[in-house]
Structure 1
């Protein structure tokens, strides 16, 4: 067996395993297509071993195997980042709801929990503008 084919099969088997792990972790059916893709890619390489032409012409297949495995890795990182973001958003939402219950006002996603302070470019009305006596 050619080392290029062997390495390609190993990478594709790793891709199948990693995509199954990703599918189980996320419970998202869409990752099932990725697992199916890797399974057929692996089957194709195994069938290639049985042919007589297993030379340097299989090098692009090895590159595809490595790139596909990297794709699964980056998808896994994306899923992890998305889970962390959901956790942070859930925590912030719970804090806003708790604040809304304490202040007896419903917390909405668009309302500010505290009044905003005046920025340095805004000015407060002066006492003179409130003076109605007509004297300066």
Structure 2
């Protein structure tokens, strides 16, 4: 049986990049007219991109070009009520001894726990064990 982590790893190996968008519920909350097909809209924009360079997310505070693997210090799940969020702690380029925590978007097509585990596995494979 193929797991989500196996699927993500295979896509990264095959395409060199994995793009993750919002799930159907989040798409509906953001644009009910487009989701119901009453009006054609373009394909949903990716919210998280994982590639050989590192990690990028469409959220406040994330660097424009993404965060290279070497600057990622920690990935963990934060539970708020019934929701799970993925927080990524990074080393800032201007002050390498300081840490900054960024939060990935919520309600993605991949379960947050599976996505966090996979990102940690990719980070460890690139020689930066957590």
TM-score by length of 2: 0.23
More helix by share: 1
